[in-house]
Amino acid sequence: MKEGSKKMADSEILHVGIDLGTSRSAISASNGERFVVDSFVGWPVDMVAKKVLKRNVMIGHEAVSNRTMLDLHRPLERGLLKEGSDKDVEAVKELLRHLLRLVGVDGNGGKIPTSNVRAVVGVPAAALRTNKQYLRNTMKGIVDSLMIVSEPFAVAYGLDALLHTMIIDIGAGTSDFCVMKGRYPTEEDQRTLTTAGDSIDTNLHKLISERYPQANITIFMVREWKEKHSFVNKAPEKVMVTAPVNGVPTEFDITAEMKAACETLLGPTVETMLDLLSRVEPEFQERVRNNIILSGGGGLIRGLPEALQDALKQVGGGKVTYMQDPVFVGSDGGLALAIDAPDTDWEKLSA
Amino acid sequence: MRMGKIDRAKRRVLRQAVADNLETIRGLPPRGVRPNVRRSRLWMRRLSIVILPVMLAGSTFLLSKPVTEPMFVVQRAAHKPITTASVSQPQSFASYEKVDPAALPLNVHRVVIDAGHGGTDPGTALPTLAEKAITLDIATRLKKLLEQGGFEVITTRTDDHLIPLRERAHIANASASDIFVSIHVNSIVEHTSEHGVETYYLGPTRDAKLTKLAAEENRESGYSLADMRKLLDGIYMDARRDESLRLASAVQSQLYGGLRGADPGLQNWGVKRAPFLVLVATEMPAILAEVGCMSNDTEVAKLHQPEYRERIANALFDGIRAYATEKK
């Protein structure tokens, strides 16, 4: 998916913000280009597949669509690079190169050399130093300079929401929480839960399989259904899906399963939100309660902002604002950081 | 270029973000967990500024007074800054507790099986059947299955006597086990026609029924209110809760799947959160499985059958094995 196109302001340096996600990765560049791709990379399984696909590697939705002919990798797990697998490291490199090519860096007719790229990459709030070092090593040679920041911080920076704000960024692999106190967030200001989009998919898959054991469903189908129909609390409509039974397309009602699976997110999210709020200095709690920003794909779950707002009533009420453009909010924040960082700092951050 | 236009707050956080990255490049641990050398040095400097004049004044004062006078002047002055500086240590270590479970891909080797109730606490008691007997029977069967499956098993009780919840948690923690599985049997007297299985992991609940259930199960806790507060403050919230949820999901799925064949009317009441004390006090991923419902006559008849109890033990085993396999 391509978003807008403007002339690059500075012909020498390209600043990019990258939201490297477990499910989808987004890139925003200072030349005005924005793209999002599914975080899947696949290599043809054999010579026949290579001949059919006419490609050495496939990335994103294209890779998912042709997965039967590919050695398919989803190289990020819970928002972090999977360690110990050379193939997954190679997959992440391919994914990053692909994202950069899309915004005009090197190869495929791109004119900007990698040595001119300064990148800010968002990672889960609870990523450890070792995770960041590993990512840094992986990105060597792909960009010139690199800054790694927590994803919710990138979101907050991009929205100018640096003071008395809470960001709840619900992605596929992790749900990240961050209270902004006018400083770079410390470990105490942030939380990461692994109850997120992927855990909903797993639960939904299990629940549907238990109720309809005869239905032949895959996690990819379940993910697609979730993205179309997810909700918490009151069902906006009956959720009917089609799946094969002994090869015959059959319609199933999965409304109850969808509700149950999506609501597994609610408890931990509310609990973590209230816990972080209780740790804010008492005089600022009300301001934070009224400045809660929901971002990430999880924000698309219908009824979720309202449910969080309902939960806030037990501590005096508050306001949850849902980002209308959740896909690029992280990468746009990263881009803002990349542009604002002075050259002297970038020189120290070579990848 | 844009630097001049951005406000002070942005400039400050940007500087901090860059500093954090430079520390990552240098391989330094995060600020919160690093001893603050500069601060310690500053305190040492301040300390010497305070101590030296006080020592000089003190020695002059002591020399001018009889030896019987108390010598607390120097001690007081020296103590305050040292105490302040040393406070930072435990706070620093506390931040190590927030660990992403992804960073701990550990295998499951040692399992604690906790048969609910016992001795003077029968749990739900019917004229012909007591919860404490069912839980012990299933726990014994499960132990055998797990040992055959290559797990090491610790049990909190092997006969009919009361072990306080505090002691159960102590047994689990002292054995450094990987997971804790507590076995209980439900009783819902308001709805005797219904029966199902459900699995709990630790967390607060707003459901009045669950609060009541937790209060009943927590009856023989052996914890004081002060202990409770400490326990709740010290919960290893993020990672342990996530792992407990995973374990609960695996066990619930197998429980329902494994028992539905023998009991088509069985309902799947799912995975839930509740503040059971035995789950609060244990230091490893912990769940409490309600493997049946003693308020339902059909279910009671089944629970009387050794084959059905064996089936429950098998389902629990399958759930634990599924979780353990997922962790490998």
* Chain A residues lying within 8 Å of B271, measured CB to CB: 264
Task: State how far the Cα of B22 lies from the Cα of A350, in Å rounded to an integer.
Answer: 10
- State the residue range of the domain holding A217: 197-263
pLDDT of residue B194: 85
**B195 & B314 share domain:** yes
- Residue ending a domain, among B97, B113, B147, is B97
How large is the average pLDDT for residues A258-269? 92
**Which 179-238 residues of chain B touch chain A by CB within 8 A?**
203-204, 237-238
- Residue ending a domain, among B80, B97, B114, is B97
Answer whether residue A147 is part of any domain.
yes
**A26 & A136 share domain:** yes
Helix ranges (H only) for A235-294 are 255-263, 266-278, 285-289
pLDDT exceeds 50 at position A50: yes
Candidate from B12, B21, B32 with C-beta closest to A349: B21
With beta carbons less than 8 A apart as the criterion, state whether B92 and B33 touch. yes
Cβ of B204 and A271 within 8 Å?
Answer: yes
**A215 & A128 share domain:** no
pLDDT of residue A1: 44
- State the residue range of the domain holding B55: 35-97
Answer whether residue A32 is part of any domain.
yes
Q: Where are the beta strands (DSSP E) in chain A?
A: 14-19, 24-29, 34-38, 41-44, 58-59, 70-73, 76-77, 80-81, 117-123, 145-150, 163-170, 175-181, 190-193, 240-245, 248-253, 292-295, 320-322
**B198 & B125 share domain:** yes
Lowest mean pLDDT among A49-58, A250-259, B237-246: B237-246
pLDDT of residue B80: 31
pLDDT exceeds 70 at position A82: no
CATH classification at residue A145: 3.30.420.40
SS3 A164: strand
- Residue ending a domain, among B97, B118, B144, is B97
pLDDT of residue A26: 92
Please report, for residues A81, A132, A151, A201, B312, the alpha-carbon distance to residue A123 in angstroms, rounded to integers and kept in the order given: 10, 8, 5, 21, 42
For chain B, the domain total comes to 2
pLDDT of residue B179: 92
Task: State how far the Cα of B148 lies from the Cα of A176, in Å rounded to an integer.
Answer: 41
Cβ of B238 and A349 within 8 Å?
Answer: no
Nearby residues of B315 by Cβ (< 8 Å), 6 or more positions away: B254, B255, B257, B258, B259, B291
Q: Which two tokens stand for residue B128?
A: 């012909």
**B172 & B271 share domain:** yes
Distant-in-sequence contacts of B37-45, Cβ < 8 A, 24+ apart: B39/B85, B39/B88, B40/B85, B43/B81, B43/B82, B43/B84, B43/B85
Task: State how far the Cα of A84 lies from the Cα of A100, in Å rounded to an integer.
Answer: 25
Q: What percent of chain A has pLDDT over 90?
A: 49
pLDDT of residue B204: 56
**A76 & A206 share domain:** no
Cβ of A129 and B30 within 8 Å?
Answer: yes
Answer whether residue B140 is part of any domain.
yes
How large is the average pLDDT for residues A68-97? 79
Reference B270, options B297, B287, B244, B252; nearest CA is B252
**Judging by beta carbons within 10 Å of its beta carbon (0-12, 13-18, 19+), is residue A143 exposed, middle or buried?**
buried
Answer whether residue B306 is part of any domain.
yes
Q: Which two tokens stand for residue A151?
A: 């994803």
pLDDT of residue A121: 93
Q: How many CB atoms lie within 10 A of CB A73?
A: 22
pTM listed for this prediction: 0.55
Q: Tell me if ipTM is over 0.90.
A: no
pLDDT exceeds 70 at position A46: yes
CATH classification at residue B232: 3.40.630.40
Cβ of A348 and B22 within 8 Å?
Answer: yes
B87 phi and psi, to 5 degrees?
-65, -30
Answer whether residue B277 is part of any domain.
yes
With beta carbons less than 8 A apart as the criterion, state whether B162 and B153 touch. no
For chain A, the domain total comes to 2
Tell me the sheet residues that pair with A143.
A140
Please give the average pLDDT of every successive group of 10 residues along chain B, which has 328 residues: 60 87 70 41 43 45 39 29 28 34 59 90 86 95 92 91 81 87 90 88 63 57 47 51 86 92 88 76 87 92 93 95 80
Task: State how far the Cα of B328 lies from the Cα of B323, in Å rounded to an integer.
Answer: 9
**B42 & B92 share domain:** yes
